[in-house]
Amino acid sequence: MTTKNLLVELFVEELPPKALKKLGDAFASQLADQLRSQGLAGAQSVVTAYASPRRLAAHITQVWRKAADKAVQQKLMPVSVGLDAAGKATPALLKKLQALGADLSDPVAAVMALRKAADGKAEALFYDSLVSGATLDTGLQKALEEAIAKLPIPKVMSYQLETDCELPGWSSVHFVRPAHGLVALHGSTVVPIKVLGLGAGNTTQGHRFEASVSPVLIADADSYAATLARDGAVIAGFAERRAEIVRQLAAAAAKMGGGVKVIEDEALLDEVTGLVERPNVLVCEFEPQFLEVPQECLILTMKANQKYFPLLDANARLTNKFLVVSNISPTDASAVIGGNERVVRPRLADAKFFFDQDRKKTLASRVAGLDKVVYHNKLGTQGERMERVRVIAQAIGQQLGGELLAQQADTAARLAKADLLTDMVGEFPELQGIMGGYYARHDGLEEDVAIAIEDHYKPRFSGDGLPRNLLGVVVALADKLETLVGMFGIGNLPTGDKDPFALRRHALGVIRMLGDADLPLHLTDLIRDATASSQWPETWSNLVNLGPIIPAVEQFIFDRLAGSLREQGYSAQEVEAVLALQPQRLGDIPKRLAAVRAFAMLPEAAALAAANKRISNILKKAQDVDPHVSEVLLKEPAEIAMFAAMKDVVPKAQTQFEAGDYTASLQSLAALRGPVDDFFDGVMVNAEALDLRLNRQGLLKRLHEAMNRVADLSKLAS
């Protein structure tokens, strides 16, 4: 049976640009999966997705006109139920056969055709039949309906179509956008299917303004993309169109010379790719006087509001030129360029106005207004929250830099949220913190304080940089800890994929700041200090049980840390071994992991890990074991030898541990492998004599403590 390639296209009104790539990929993959499930396509079929602003399409290779017939073996019922004592069919069997469509014109022959086979301890009747394979006409109809139903549509539209029957009326259609055309070609043959009130054909529409013909005739499935490009002036493939935009952007920037480059923004690039069918990059500019406004404001308004690509000079400073991706390619582009320049000017003027107005008031004068901004109904206002952050920041600053850093942290924390009340942040919430830094400098505050205000939201997302100075780290830590403690206190925790207050991101931010900066701070103490603030509202204090909240927040942070470490390439065993001890100084964790990895490669590692697990189990059964050991009570040669080895090895390993050389510490402990093996071979730990039993348990307790300072080695046991 020969195969041909299949092309299916839905021609629609402009699709949501941010969702276009996902819609295109889902449409093609769902369509192919449905065809494979019906036997009309195989694993060897190659799927190509096409998605432009006005179409979703899929090209699938090696599709059969009809699926192969399939032999079906179906168990009916036990022989004792289907046949009576005389071997004739019971009413239950006849009813079942009728439901399956068997020929019952001769019931005896129908029963004789059944197969008897063992089914467990009993014997059952089986009905063997040959099911005709699906045809492409019916199979594609079903596949397309399923693919449309499963599209990840952001928001469904409802619209009316005039019915095509004899009775006048309208029918409702539900889809992401109104659909106007359907193409379904198997090779060059139209597949007669119908969906969304549309019948399939072999014509589509090209570019709204630049198509050379209308409609565009698609001769066969394989000529789809080339025909659209030639006759319809449309680059149908999302990836191809995106690559063409990247090429044109780079070429336009290169023509300007002087190291000018386009700001990289993958999300903007995807969105613009979803807005144009035939990209044409044009160079525009605005008045240099707008460059007096902070470049973050100008960049944001150009990207978010206008979908433009700003240009930076060799020093990463914004230029007064920008790139526009047009959907038309006129011979004279001056009108398009002029129109875009006129459109962007009021946007930039607004940004300049906001900036000038905001600087008429100091940040300090805005602080009182935070008392009127609700943060959370159970946690009070932004003003109350700011006071809590101040207390936490002062405590952290005192630990890291004494009174001077504590005072600076208090100042930065008090002003950090003041820019929420500015016009610029009101218009562009993404600029909170950033604008606070600019206004702090305008107010004459120290540069360190301005940087801390600007950076206190960092890291804002995965891969974002940390605050640039220690003061910024202090305020950012205080801000994130206040959020974590406050939300845990009222039980407002993440569930599934929902995390409205970004607690997971806050936890990862705490991890990165404590770990990457290797700060000499203990995690439990930080959380305890955050809960101890006298600024928490009475409603929170009444709700919260301070005992459980500290370990709950701590465990939440360690859970996020475990996931992060596994993503960095550490094994689950390595991570579990280190985090089982919940090390309080997070900056130590990479060194501990490296030490565990090096230890695991030693020939003694497996035996010591197994012994450590055995010791853990023994100590769990014994309660309140005292690690004190009396040499007088050491009777067996093996326990005497192990104690002697420990007196030699453990102090050395302890000294290396205290010096931070965790790898050397674990490698020193590897020398205990022989004495430990001999101990378990020759010594009964749970001796009948109480004094001997307690002494041996104490010896194991001391060994257990020595072996598990860096990590819980029992987690390495297979």
pLDDT digits over 209-258, tens only?
999 999 999 999 999 999 999 999 999 999 999 999 999 999 999 999 88
Residue 111: pLDDT above 90? no
Query: The domain 374-569: what is its CATH number?
Result: 1.10.3210
Closest CA to 370 of 383, 361, 380: 383
- DSSP conformational letter for 175: E
| 457 phi and psi angles, rounded to 5 deg | -85, -10
Residue 168: pLDDT above 60? no
Per DSSP, the three-state class of 33 is helix
What's the rounded mean pLDDT across residues 583-604? 92
Residue 26 or 615, more confident: 26
Residue 167: pLDDT above 60? no
Tens-digit pLDDT profile for residues 548-582: 888 999 999 999 999 999 999 999 999 999 999 99
Tens-digit pLDDT profile for residues 322-335: 999 999 999 999 99
- Cis status, amide bond into 590, omega within 30 of 0: no
Report the run of H or E that residue 36 belongs to, with start and end: helix 20-37
Residue 131 or 355, more confident: 355
pTM: 0.80
Query: The domain 589-716: what is its CATH number?
Result: 1.10.730
- DSSP conformational letter for 53: T
For residue 496, name the pLDDT band (cuts at 50, 70, 90): confident
Residue 547: pLDDT above 70? no
Q: What is the pLDDT of residue 262?
A: 96
Rg (CA), the chain: 36
Q: What is the pLDDT of residue 154?
A: 73
What's the rounded mean pLDDT across residues 97-118? 77
Q: Where are the domains of the chain?
A: 3-67+135-231, 70-131, 238-358, 374-569, 589-716
Compute the Cα dihedral for 107, 112, 114, 116 and give only its sign.
positive
What's the rounded mean pLDDT across residues 471-499? 91
Q: What is the pLDDT of residue 1?
A: 61
Whether the domain at 374-569 and the domain at 589-716 fall into the same CATH topology: no
Per DSSP, the three-state class of 575 is helix
Give 66's contacts (C-beta < 8 A, 6+ positions apart).
1, 40, 133, 134, 135, 136
Closest CA to 258 of 299, 308, 319: 319
Q: Tell me how far apart the alpha carbons of residues 716 and 718 are, in angstroms, rounded to a whole number.
A: 6
- DSSP conformational letter for 512: H
Share of the chain above pLDDT 90, in %: 67
Q: Tell me how far apart the alpha carbons of residues 597 and 604 are, in angstroms, rounded to a whole number.
A: 13
Share of the chain above pLDDT 70, in %: 97
Residue 485: pLDDT above 70? yes
For residue 123, name the pLDDT band (cuts at 50, 70, 90): confident
What integer best gives the mean pLDDT of the chain?
Answer: 91
Tens-digit pLDDT profile for residues 390-440: 999 999 999 999 999 999 999 999 999 999 999 999 999 999 999 999 999
Give 23's contacts (C-beta < 8 A, 6+ positions apart).
15, 16, 51, 56, 151, 152, 153, 176
Q: Tell me how far apart the alpha carbons of residues 507 and 484 are, in angstroms, rounded to a whole number.
A: 8
Tens-digit pLDDT profile for residues 269-297: 999 999 999 999 999 999 999 999 999 99
Q: What is the pLDDT of residue 79?
A: 80
For residue 686, name the pLDDT band (cuts at 50, 70, 90): confident
Q: Widest CA span of the chain, in angstroms?
A: 108
Q: What is the pLDDT of residue 477?
A: 97
